[in-house]
Amino acid sequence: MSLVGKNAPAFEAPAVINGKDILENFSMEQYIGEKYIIFFFYPADFTFVCPTEILAFQKKLAEFEKREAVVIGCSVDSHFSHWKWLQTEKNDGGIKGVTYPLVADQTQTISENYGVLAGNYGYTDDGEAVFQGSPVAYRATFIIDKKGLVRHEVVNDMGIGRSIEETIRTLDSLIYFEKHGEVCPANWKQGDEAMKPTFNGVAEYLSKH
C-alpha cells in the first residue's frame, strides 16, 4: 500500500554520517519541521547499479541543499559494511566522497515498514516462519515534506536505476505547489507555467499549450 499522504514511519538505527562517523541511533526526526527529506532505499553495498545511484545523489547534493532538502540512503547492510564501502575508492567499486547519511537496516524493519522489502514472511507446514524472496530493499525513493508526510514515492525493481533529475523535478513541483497553490501539469519543471486548480484554470492552460 502507498504511504503517500501518511506520516513517514519513524525509526532509530545505526548510520554512517559525513562519510566516516558511525552514529548508533540515527533518526530522521531531527529534520521534521526544518527540511524536506529525500529518503531512498537501495538493495546492497558493494554491488553494481547501487554505487551509480549513490554517487549521483552526491553529485546533486548541493541542488537538494538549495531546496532545503536532506538526502538519506538506506539498505539492509550493516553500518560496518557502509563504513567500509565509504572508505573504498571509486575505481575499486567504492563510494568514497559520499557525505550524506547511510542507514543500516539490518533488522529489515525499516524496509518492511516502508513497504519496499523484496519478499515477505511465510510459514512451513510445521508453522515455522520463513522468509520468501530476497531479503533486501527495492530501489525506492520517498519525498517527505517538512511536516513529516510522504508526498511522493517511486519503487523500481533491482535492475532499474532511478533518475535523480526526476527526483529534483518532483521536489520542485512539491515546493511550487506548497508556495503558490498552483498545480503542476505533465512534465512541469522549474520555470514553467503551472495551473490554477479550477476547471477554468485548466482550460486556460490547455488553450495555451
In a domain, 1, yes or no: no
Q: How many domains does the chain have?
A: 2
Question: Do residues 173 and 132 share a domain?
Answer: no
Residues 89 and 135 occupy one common structural domain = yes
In a shared domain, residues 203 and 118: no
Whole-model pTM?
0.94
Residue 48 confidence (pLDDT): 94
74 is catalytic: no
Please report how many Cα atoms fall inside a 13 Å half-sphere around the Cα of residue 206, on the Cβ side.
Answer: 7
Dist. CA 98–CA 85, nearest whole Å? 10
What is the Cα–Cα distance from 11 to 114, expressed in whole angstroms?
A: 11
Residues 69 and 38: beta-carbon distance below 8 Å: yes
Give the tens place of pLDDT for each residue, 143-199. 999 999 999 999 999 999 999 999 999 999 999 999 999 999 999 999 999 999 998
Angle among Cα 113, 119, 125 to the nearest 5 degrees reads 115
Per-residue pLDDT of 2-45, as tens digits, reads 999 999 999 999 999 999 999 999 999 999 999 999 999 999 99
Active-site residue, selected from the candidate residues 28, 37, 38, 50: 50
Same domain, 125 and 208: no
